[in-house]
Amino acid sequence: MKHLLSTRDLDRDTAVRILDIAEEMSRTADRAVRKLPTLRGKTVVNLFFEDSTRTRLSFESAAKRLSADVITFSAKGSSVSKGESLKDTAQTLEAMGADAIVVRHGVSGAAELLAHAGWIDATIVNAGDGTHEHPTQALLDAYTIRSRRFGDDARGRDLAGLRIVIVGDILHSRVARSNVWLLTALGAHVHLVAPRTLLPSGISTWPVTVHESLDDALDTGPDAVMMLRIQSERMHDAYFPSEREYAREWGLTAERATRLGPDTMVMHPGPMNRGLEISSVAADSPASTVLDQVSNGVFVRMAVLYLLVAGESQEES
């Protein structure tokens, strides 16, 4: 595996392997010295055309714990905002010795283009491209589900038979897309819930069950409910009438949260709109995995960088 662009490219065994390596990485967090020497001498560039403090910090932290040299390049106030093209920026960073480029871009396909346009040779990790994919988010979600469900017995397991409900703006969500492909590859059943305006066209060809009522979806007894962030400006484009109606119809209200089974996880990729797609009761309940997702994000990204950047010799072991 040279790049991580999309979870569509991951088969079950590769995905399980990444999760297993992430589990190894999590053990280092308990050590007195958290750093591993694995990527010493390698340079990882975080190329962020879009603001995303959480994802950027998570990747930075992951690369540093693997002893890589980390350069972070934010588009704001840089040559990019002065009109430099994606191609020139990428070539400049590679000329500075980047072994891997972690790219976040507001346009779908930007990571794929960097990997395959022939401009550069560096490894590309997609940290979110437009409304397309966000593969490390899906990996950390899968990791979180697996470790909550199976605890110390998680290693080597997939998510066969688990039922995951994803709720909200599927149309514009790279998190939803990456999760659909990954969770399905891992054997889980994915259920999507959204008003029709926020479902992508062609959804019937996806390997998912679509519900138009959140209550119907919750009645199926899911193992996890993943609430997506809703952007309130969507209501100006007539995707839904008002925040109040959205929260009532599609939000994980306190009432709905209390109806969930005792083992049903409540997930959110963050940042949350409390009171809109998720109530504080749900977000702060013991069922919530929101903070686990953040810490697991570092382990999963360590695993991905390790697999892609450490090189052949390391991969053997």
Partner 1 sequence: MTSILVRAAAMLGGGREDLRIRDGEIASRGSLTPERGETVIDADGLVALPGLVDLHTHLREPGFEASETVLTGTRAAAAGGFTAVHAMANTSPVADTAGVVEQVARLGDEHGYATVRPIGAVTVGLAGERLAEIGAMARSRAAVRVFSDDGLCVADPLLMRRALEYVATFGGVIAQHAQEPRLTEGAQMNEGALSGELGLAGWPAVAEEAIIARDVLLAEHVGARLHICHVSTAGSVDIVRWAKARGISVTAEVTPHHLLLTEELARGYDARFKVNPPLRRDEDVHALRAALADGTIDIVATDHAPHPSEAKECAWAEAAFGMVGLESALSVVQHTMIESGMLDWADIARVLSEAPASIGRLDGYDAPLAIGAPAHVTLVDPTAARTWSTSDLRGRSSNTPFAGRVLPGRVMATIHAGALTVSDGEVVDAAELGTKEGD
Binding site, annotated residues for L-aspartate: 82, 174, 229
- Nearest distance, CB of residue 233 and partner 1, angstroms: 13
Q: Which is nearer to partner 1, 34 or 196 (CB)?
A: 196
Q: If binding is defined by CB under 8 A, does position 113 make contact with partner 1?
A: yes
Residue 196 in tokens: 């029709």
Q: Which is nearer to partner 1, 105 or 148 (CB)?
A: 105
- Nearest distance, CB of residue 210 and partner 1, angstroms: 12
Contact window for partner 1 (CB under 8 A) among 27-35, 82-90, 145-153, 158-166: 82-90
Residues 93-112 that bind partner 1 (CB under 8 A): 105, 107-110, 112
Contacting residues for 100 by C-beta, under 8 A, at least 6 apart: 42, 43, 44, 45, 122, 123, 124, 125, 305, 308, 309
Amino acid identity for residue 46 in this structure: N
Determine the distance from the C-alpha atom of residue 74 to the mean position of all C-alpha atoms in its chain, rounded to a whole number. 20
Residues, the chain: 317
- Nearest distance, CB of residue 19 and partner 1, angstroms: 24
Looking up tokens 């797609």, which residue turns up? 277
Q: If binding is defined by CB under 8 A, does position 78 make contact with partner 1?
A: no
Residues 171-190 that bind partner 1 (CB under 8 A): 171, 174, 177
- Nearest distance, CB of residue 129 and partner 1, angstroms: 7
Tell me the β-bridge partners of 288. Answer: 266
E strands in 254-298:
265-267
Q: Are 72 and 46 in contact (CB under 8 A)?
A: yes
* Of 7, 33, 2, residue with least CA distance to 19: 7
Residues 195-224 that bind partner 1 (CB under 8 A): 200-203, 205-206
Residues that bind partner 1 (CB under 8 A): 85-87, 105, 107-110, 112-113, 116-117, 129-133, 171, 174, 177, 200-203, 205-206
